[in-house]
Chain A
Amino acid sequence: MTSVSVVDSAAPLLDVRGLRKFFPIAKGVFRRIVGHVRAVDDVSFTVREGETLGLVGESGCGKTTASRCILRAIDPTSGQVLYRTRGNEVVDLAPMSRAQLAPLRRDIQMIFQDPFGSLNPRMTLFDNVGEPLLVNGVRRRRERMDRVAELLRLVGLRPEFMHRFPHAFSGGQRQRIGIARALATNPRLVVADEPVSALDVSVQAQVLNLLLELQSSLRLTFVFVAHDLSVVRHISDRVAVMYVGQLVELAPTAAVFARPRHPYTAALMRAVPVPDPRVSGADAVLIGEVPSPASPPSGCYFHPRCRFVEERCRREAPVLRELIPGHFARCHLAEQLTLGGGGETG
């Protein structure tokens, strides 16, 4: 059962505050910097231990960039990425050097989208899955073999597969291998970037079940990046919706899907094709395209596509506000609008 957000007294495992990542746009012979792509622009959220935060949005909304900043695969422009260590000490990952990060790397791991591109085709499963162990100081081969066997069993693969190469496995099996590798170092926080979007329907269900199982048995915390709302709804405790680099809504899953408070979230939900021919989605079309994060519109970034737009929305940029405890939205009209979930029309 999901408890609808009783305020957790314990400090969150991850606390992202005012995260920004700007990419410079260079022009001309001298590569003069003429502007910035504001890929992630002032994003703040927390992730509690053992929960799953779903991060959703269309391509180019900054969800992947934000997740890479948390992993410090790229360096944030500004902001804090506060992480509570095993010793209950809160550290800021954002300004850390490589050397300082090294001991924390094993705590925060990643599952990738593409099960074909993310495994080295020239390395056996033992080497693919065991490499993080080697990097983290498990030097004895015997010990690594035992651990890899254990990991493969954990993700539902036979330990004998260890000496085979990735090409011998299907997409779903490869995603299991990728999960085993992410779990090799006993992480606490796992960032999964579209882990099931490249998989077939039946395989997707298997991998989602596996992730839920592993989460409860290993007490993992997930940041689950995805664009498929039905998948996000299924797996997440809370959902964060991004649009053009900003968070536009953040709330417990049940609350968002019962009553979204931002018109963009509602539009995103209506755009999901319903697997039932009796439910028509014909009129559920959001017009226009996502604006470029290099030159976003004035006021609310969503106003050119919003059907509730008012004069104020064109001029004044809304802030992310807490409407009811735990439910945040970035919309001037959040209180007035009655937005529905999947079924709303008109």
Chain B
Amino acid sequence: MPPIHTATSADSNTGEPLLRVRDLRVSFKLDEGMVRAVDGVSFDVFPGQVVGIVGESGCGKSVTMKAILQLIEPPGRITSGEILYRQGPDEAIDLSRLPPRGQTMRALRGADIALIPQEPMAAFSPVHTVGEQIVEAIMLHGRQRYGRSINRHDARAITVDLFRDVGISIPEQRIDAYSWQLSGGLRQRAMIAMALSCKPRLLIADEPTTAIDVTTQAQILALLRELQRKYDTAIIFITHDLGVIAQMANYVVVMYLGRVMEEGPVDEIFHTPRHPYTRALLRSIPSMQGETRTALPIIKGTLPHPFNRPSGCPFHPRCDDVMPERCTKAVPVLHSVGQRRAVSCFLHSELAEPA
């Protein structure tokens, strides 16, 4: 295979995807009407790869994450699509068909597929020590993930090792701390230890560094990169920060109003963006090199209210390249434009969603 633009070797992974999301749709039925939070999202996650999902608030990135973990609460509902998770060489299960509280999903959630939430303060229980909470997870999933049942003593030893792994000093003591006794950085490290405790194959990180300082963020990102290499875990990294995405992801999915605007290898998304939204987004961030105290290029208008979805392409009212006849009337399909590269824009493909 000819070497294509690759940020890391993981890009050239040609095996079967670990997770395959196809045309996922999630709706929330509210009194005011139907909100289509996720409206036809497709992407693949390969083993050992970091997929970044980037978008502004309300773009559906967190709902996508919740759908994968089957954590959508009523009135929300997965209305269509597939979430194929590959358990073995020839064995894929569609997570979207599984009952959220059923045996299979409960065995997968927190074990095969683990989550690093945005706010570790809210995710840890304040009345149990962080160690206890991790020990509990290890004992619960032990047989399945470690191949043997694990007693409390062993689980504690595993937790101490994990703490050391994620760079928590004096782990033997910190394991008995409550979450509120730890600093933001340590708390997030403990959360990462918890997420890794059952040797996940897929890790979902939902804005894991949004609530912490830049220097701590740099530490956490470096840690995640290192652990990812060490355990070869696949990661779905959700963030609104383009800098973080550039530094973390191999493959990027850009979302807007519940739809994928564009996806592709990280280098191509940042250096040859195809969708007007991606281009506008990249232009609008203040850089560390550019001119200062000048007007930044902006994306005109505001994010539409979810009940007021524009007709046609959801981005057309704010798009600089809008084609009035075309973009306002039909919804462009996410169409492949090269190897592992797809764009949903009429500038690149004439294909429209069936009306």
B270 close to chain A: CB less than 8 A: yes
**Which A residues lie within 8 Å of B176 (CB)?**
none
Contact B293 A235 (CB under 8 A): yes
Of chain B, the residue at the smallest CB distance from A228 is B214
**Which B residues lie within 8 Å of A278 (CB)?**
267, 270-271
**Which A residues lie within 8 Å of B185 (CB)?**
289
B87 close to chain A: CB less than 8 A: no
Contact A273 B244 (CB under 8 A): yes
Contact B302 A212 (CB under 8 A): no
A229 close to chain B: CB less than 8 A: yes
Q: Give complex CA distance A205, B242 in Å.
A: 14
A271 close to chain B: CB less than 8 A: yes
Q: Give complex CA distance A278, B299 in Å.
A: 25
B57 close to chain A: CB less than 8 A: yes
Contact B247 A274 (CB under 8 A): yes
Contact B284 A202 (CB under 8 A): yes
Q: Give complex CA distance A277, B50 in Å.
A: 13
B7 close to chain A: CB less than 8 A: yes
Interface string of A281-292 (1 = CB under 8 A from B): 110111101100
Instruction: Tell me the smallest distance from the CB of B77 to a CB of chain A, in Å.
Output: 25
Contact B214 A58 (CB under 8 A): yes
Contact B221 A286 (CB under 8 A): no
Q: Give complex CA distance A280, B184 in Å.
A: 25
Contact A231 B286 (CB under 8 A): yes
A120 close to chain B: CB less than 8 A: no
Of chain A, the residue at the smallest CB distance from B282 is A275
Contact B288 A257 (CB under 8 A): yes
B72 close to chain A: CB less than 8 A: no
A187 close to chain B: CB less than 8 A: no
Pick from A58, A171, A230, A289: contact of B57, CB under 8 Å? A171
**Which B residues lie within 8 Å of A342 (CB)?**
288-289
Contact A229 B288 (CB under 8 A): yes
Q: Give complex CA distance A72, B3 in Å.
A: 62
Q: Knowing A273-B221, A285-B219 are in contact, say whether A227-B214 is a contact too (CB < 8 A).
A: yes
A300 close to chain B: CB less than 8 A: no
**Which B residues lie within 8 Å of A173 (CB)?**
302
Interface size for chain A: under 10, 10 to 19, 20 to 34, or 35 or more residues? 35 or more
Contact B183 A205 (CB under 8 A): no
Contact B215 A230 (CB under 8 A): no
Q: Give complex CA distance A280, B248 in Å.
A: 10
Instruction: Tell me the smallest distance from the CB of B170 to a CB of chain A, in Å.
Output: 14
Q: Knowing A272-B243, A277-B267, A342-B289 are in contact, say whether A267-B215 is a contact too (CB < 8 A).
A: yes
Most buried by A among B215, B246, B249, B286: B215
Q: Give complex CA distance A9, B295 in Å.
A: 29
B281 close to chain A: CB less than 8 A: yes
Q: Give complex CA distance A277, B266 in Å.
A: 7
Contact A58 B286 (CB under 8 A): no
Q: Give complex CA distance A271, B246 in Å.
A: 14
Contact B289 A200 (CB under 8 A): no
Contact B222 A206 (CB under 8 A): no
Q: Give complex CA distance A163, B160 in Å.
A: 58
B10 close to chain A: CB less than 8 A: no
Instruction: Tell me the smallest distance from the CB of B161 to a CB of chain A, in Å.
Output: 21
Contact B246 A200 (CB under 8 A): no
Q: Give complex CA distance A228, B242 in Å.
A: 13
A88 close to chain B: CB less than 8 A: no
A136 close to chain B: CB less than 8 A: no
B154 close to chain A: CB less than 8 A: no
* Chain A 169-206 interface residues, beta-carbon cutoff 8 Å to B: 170-173, 200-206
Contact B214 A170 (CB under 8 A): no
Interface string of B210-245 (1 = CB under 8 A from A): 000111111101100100000000000000111111
Interface string of A49-88 (1 = CB under 8 A from B): 0001000001100000000000000000000000000000
Contact B56 A201 (CB under 8 A): yes
Residues of B participating in the A interface, judged by any CB pair closer than 8 Å: 7, 56-57, 183-186, 213-219, 221-222, 225, 240-247, 249, 266-267, 270-271, 280-282, 284-290, 292-299, 302-303
Given contacts A275-B245, A282-B247, A285-B222, 9 further A-B contacts (CB under 8 A): A59-B213, A170-B302, A205-B298, A233-B292, A234-B292, A234-B296, A235-B292, A272-B243, A277-B246
